[in-house]
């Protein structure tokens, strides 16, 4: 498997952003005190569906770690 290059300006995962294929994001890991880098494997907009409850929305968001939309790359 080819290795991915981690960009210098990796953004944090946010809502209401269109994540294009192979874009990268960072997620803070409070237990390990570091940042996990994930790569998008399926382009999608990270938007909310306002017709559902807030607790359901949090569980349904395709936020990393989520194997359908993201691939783990590394830890910094």
pLDDT at 45 over 80: yes
CA distance 39 to 4: 9
Q: What is the reported pLDDT for 1?
A: 52
User: What is the pLDDT of the chain when averaged over all its residues?
Assistant: 78
Of 10, 17, 4, 13, the closest CA to residue 47 belongs to: 17
- Comparing 18 with 46, the larger pLDDT belongs to 18
pLDDT at 14 over 60: yes
CA distance 24 to 30: 19
Q: What is the reported pLDDT for 56?
A: 46
Q: What is the reported pLDDT for 15?
A: 82
Confidence of residue 53 (pLDDT cuts 50, 70, 90): very low
Q: Where are the domains of the chain?
A: 11-75
Q: What is the reported pLDDT for 6?
A: 82
């Amino acid at each position: 498997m080819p290795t991915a290059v981690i960009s210098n300006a990796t953004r944090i995962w946010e809502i209401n952003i269109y994540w294009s294929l192979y874009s990268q994001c960072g997620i803070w890991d409070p237990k390990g005190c570091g940042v996990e880098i994930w790569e998008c494997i399926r382009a999608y907009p990270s938007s909310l569906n306002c017709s559902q409850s807030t607790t359901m929305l949090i569980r349904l968001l395709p936020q990393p770690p989520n194997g359908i939309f993201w691939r783990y790359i590394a830890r910094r």
